[in-house]
Homo-oligomer: A and B are copies of this chain.
């Protein structure tokens, strides 16, 4: 008991986006548009990026799965809103998923491939590549700091906020590790004879 019986058919093991959405809908009811603009883009872009089309299609699947329900709000000045709410089955599924270990995600970084095969390139070309990456990573760290300022600025440290803080700490440290390594790598390549 606790979970629906076997024939799920909907996306087996990870299905992570579905569960991110369940988590967000457990906080409060929302529309697809709210999820995209207020949640994914403004609050958890450091954590999970999602395409608008995929959000709407996942909402459809979650609804036909019985994990969320939909209530259409008629609006006259604007398009109607489909407000989604998590169901009891959805909460059970979320609670189960939250406690399940998932395999480490596969990382595929073009920059590392480039560096791995860069032996044929002149040093300046390699340094240029690393500098562009450095710039992109600095920008990403800045985005993390924006999110930090927006959502973790007030001193009220609820249990939830402490967890959000932990998550953001990792993401920031990850970027910092990258930045440190890039600076070291640039110095190493520069000091090298071609």
Contact = CB atoms under 8 A, between A and B. Distances in A.
A95 interface: yes
Interface in A142-194: 158-160, 162-164, 166-167, 169-171, 173-174, 177-178, 181, 185, 188, 192
Please report whether the interface of chain A is mostly helix, strand, loop or mixed according to DSSP.
Answer: helix
A113 interface: yes
Contacts of A163: 115-116, 118-119
Contacts of A170: 112, 177-178, 181, 185
Interface stretch (A4-12, A60-68, A71-79, A103-111): A103-111
A105 B109 contact: yes
Interface in A128-143: 128-129, 132-133, 136-137, 140
A109 to B, nearest CB: 6
Contacts of A44: 116
A121 interface: yes
Contacts of A53: none
A181 B59 CA distance: 33
A167 B112 contact: yes
B188 A166 contact: yes
